A and B are shown apart, each in its own frame.
Chain A
Amino acid sequence: MNWYKYASPTNFYPLAGKMIPWFAIPSAILFVLGLYVGFFVAPTDFQQGDAYRIIFIHVPSAWMGMFLYLLMAFYAAIGWAFNARLSSMMASAISITGAMFTALSLVTGSLWGKPTWGTYWVWDARLTSTLILLFLYIGFISLQASIDDRSRADRAGAVLAIVGVINVPIIYFSVQWWNTLHQGASIRLLGKPTIAPPMMAAMLIILAACWLYSIAVVLVRLRQIIVEREQTAAWAAEARA
């Protein structure tokens, strides 16, 4: 396969269209399978009761939020370094899905926290870092949204994403450090669940489903971005003529 051919947005557009069902359909199947295993095969945990079933979606969404940030920064950096427009568009397409998963992991995390810790929100190290990750996504999305010149938006987003990636480990470390300093928050009502094989299986299946879902949604959005940019380019050409 000639990869260079597909590095151009117009050539990638039909290929992406053909790829979408190959990710969307398996994603739906794996979601159903994962939820079946999670709710009918996995036993009730003797510590947490059925509340632990939230982690089947909570943990994968938290992972997706983190991975997608790294992936977004990677694509943005490639797009900037090699002037590859498609790669930059990919970064913009990923950002929204990444923010969605981060928000989802916060919502499910607080719904899991209520029965486990007794409150919807504790300033636990992981929840706090996830919240900051959401802020980083919001920064990237709002920066790109407020720049009209697409080429500048792509490259400005790349700088911000790279700075964010360098900062993420420092933020995680500082929040961890801060958390050990203020030990008030770690009230645990229910113990940690012992991970039985079906629980692990359900979590991994849903993680795979989330990956496939992300790829499908990102491809749809990427195609949309390509169309919209071609339209504005065509309008601009029309206006100049």
Chain B
Amino acid sequence: MFRWIVVRDLTLAWKSRVDVLSTLFFFLIVVSLFPLGIGPETNLLRLIAPGVVWVAALLASMLSLGRLFANDYQDGTLEQLLLTPQPLYLVVLGKVLALWLVSGVPLALMSPVLGIQFGLSGNTLFVLVVSLLLGTPVLALIGSIGAALTLGLRGGGLLLSILVLPLYIPVLIFGSGAVDASITGMGLQGSLSLLGAVLVLSLVFAPWATSAALRISLE
């Protein structure tokens, strides 16, 4: 069941790959706006790079959340999934994993290109990718709760951002903190292991909350 969900969602994502690509382009464009707004001094850009890239990653993964349940909700598949005897926990986990594979992973892999624009160098670029790979699944997991709660509501997208962005703050702090630490040459184990701890915590709790939210929204 779990694998079936993942494969199915990946196939569906492949069919609508324009959506997937536009999330990436959004990420790229938002990050590129900052040097234009602030000015091209390399030292300043290097200083703000971790925060800028991470905030853009937050916004991009928030935008991709709309796809998580909306289509299945509209064509009634979601209702069917709720009625199957399989634990809903696994269904949610599968859908979130598929979402992360098409939004979080490409985003993390693309981030070095943006890091170079901001004057980051070798080791820091690597830390940026690692922190994003650890952080984006948390964003997808927490976001799935918000997506399930706002399912089918008017103004859902805007509401979703109000619900989800405050909950993203720890990820933002630990994620950009890791990149920051690597720039200033401080130990980055602390922030990366905190990010990992948040990931484990959200893996345990978030799918449960999302399942409850789905049951509430579909009743």
Q: Do chains A and B touch in the complex (CB under 8 A)?
A: yes
Give residues 112-164 of B contacting A (CB, 8 Å): 142, 145, 149-150, 153-155, 159, 162-163
* Residues of A139-178 whose CB lies within 8 A of B: 139, 142-143, 146-147, 152, 155-156, 159-160, 162-164, 166-167, 170-171, 173-175, 177-178
Q: Is the CB of B149 within 8 A of A160?
A: yes
Decide yes or no: A142 and B159 within 8 Å by CB, A159-B213, A166-B205 being known contacts.
Answer: yes
Q: Is the CB of A178 within 8 A of B173?
A: yes
Task: Please indicate the chain A residues that have their CB under 8 angstroms from the CB of B150 in the complex.
Answer: 143, 146
Are the C-beta atoms of B170 and A171 separated by less than 8 Å?
yes
* Interface of chain A, main secondary structure: helix
Nearest-Cβ distance from residue B169 to partner chain A, whole angstroms: 6
Q: Which residues of A96-146 have CB atoms within 8 Å of chain B's CB atoms?
A: 132, 135-136, 138-139, 142-143, 146
* Binary per-residue interface labels of chain B (176-218) against chain A in the complex, 1 for a CB within 8 Å, 0 otherwise: 0100100000000000001000100100010001001100110
Q: How far is the CB of B82 from chain A (nearest CB, A)?
A: 15
Set B162, B194, B205: member contacting A139, Cβ < 8 A:
B162
Could you tell me if A160 and B173 are in contact, using CB atoms closer than 8 angstroms?
Answer: no
Minimal beta-carbon separation of B47 from chain A (angstroms)? 11
Given contacts A142-B159, A160-B149, contact A152 B173 (CB under 8 A): no
Considering the complex, give the chain A residue whose CB is closest to the CB of B153.
Answer: A146
Tell me the bound Cα distance from A164 to B198 in angstroms.
Answer: 14
Asked whether, in the complex, the Cβ of B163 is within 8 Å of the Cβ of A160, the reply is: yes
List A contacts of B169 (CB < 8 A): 132, 171, 174-175
Q: Does A181 contact B (CB under 8 A)?
A: yes
B216 in complex: contacting residue of A135, A159, A174, CB < 8 Å: A159
Q: Write the nearest CB–CB distance from A99 to chain B, whole angstroms.
A: 13
- Interfacial chain A residues near B217, Cβ < 8 Å: 152, 156
Q: Which residue from chain A places its CB closest to the CB of B154 in the assembled complex?
A: A146
Residue ID in chain A nearest B172 by CB atoms: A174
CB under 8 Å from chain A, chain B span 55-90: none
Number of A-B contacts (CB under 8 A): 72
Whether the Cβ atoms of B167 and A174 lie closer than 8 Å is no
Residues of chain B lying within 8 A (CB to CB) of residue A175: 169, 173
Least CB distance from A84 to B in Å reads: 16
Question: A143 to B159, Cβ gap below 8 A?
Answer: yes
Total count of chain B residues near the partner, CB < 8 A: 29
Residue B219 interfacial (CB < 8 Å): yes
Tell me how far the C-beta of A146 lies from the nearest C-beta in chain B, rounded to whole angstroms: 5
For residue B153, which residues in chain A have a CB less than 8 angstroms away from its CB? 146-147
The closest CB in chain A to the CB of B186 belongs to A181
- A146 in contact with B159 (CB, 8 Å): yes
B166 touching A135 by the CB < 8 A rule? Answer: yes
Check if B159 sits within 8 Å of A163, measured CB to CB: no
Q: When the two chains form their complex, are residues B149 and A143 in contact, meaning their CB atoms are under 8 A apart?
A: yes
Q: With A139-B166, A159-B209 given, is the CB distance from A170 to B198 under 8 Å?
A: yes
A147 to B156, CA, bound (A): 10
A147 smallest CB distance to B (angstroms): 6
Given contacts A152-B219, A159-B145, contact A178 B209 (CB under 8 A): no
Take A139-B166, A143-B159, A177-B173 as given contacts and tell me if A156 and B198 are in contact as well, using a CB distance cutoff of 8 Å.
no
Write the chain B residue with the least CB distance to A133: B166
- Complex: how many Å from CA A175 to CA B212? 29
Interface check B100, CB cutoff 8 A: no
Measured in the bound complex, the distance between the Cα atoms of B169 and A132 in whole Å is 9
CB distance from A183 to the nearest CB of B (A): 12
Q: A138-B162, A146-B154, A159-B213 known; 18 other A-B pairs, CB under 8 Å?
A: A132-B169, A139-B166, A143-B159, A146-B150, A155-B216, A156-B149, A156-B217, A159-B216, A160-B149, A160-B163, A163-B145, A163-B167, A166-B205, A170-B170, A171-B170, A174-B170, A175-B173, A181-B177
- List the 9 closest pairs (A to B, CB-CB), nearest first: A135-B166, A174-B170, A174-B173, A155-B216, A139-B163, A178-B173, A156-B149, A159-B213, A170-B170
Q: Pull 12 A–B residue pairs with CB atoms less than 8 Å apart, ordered by A.
A: A132-B166, A135-B166, A138-B162, A142-B159, A143-B150, A152-B216, A156-B149, A159-B213, A163-B205, A171-B166, A171-B169, A174-B173
Residues of A within 8 A of B (CB): 132, 135-136, 138-139, 142-143, 146-147, 152, 155-156, 159-160, 162-164, 166-167, 170-171, 173-175, 177-178, 181
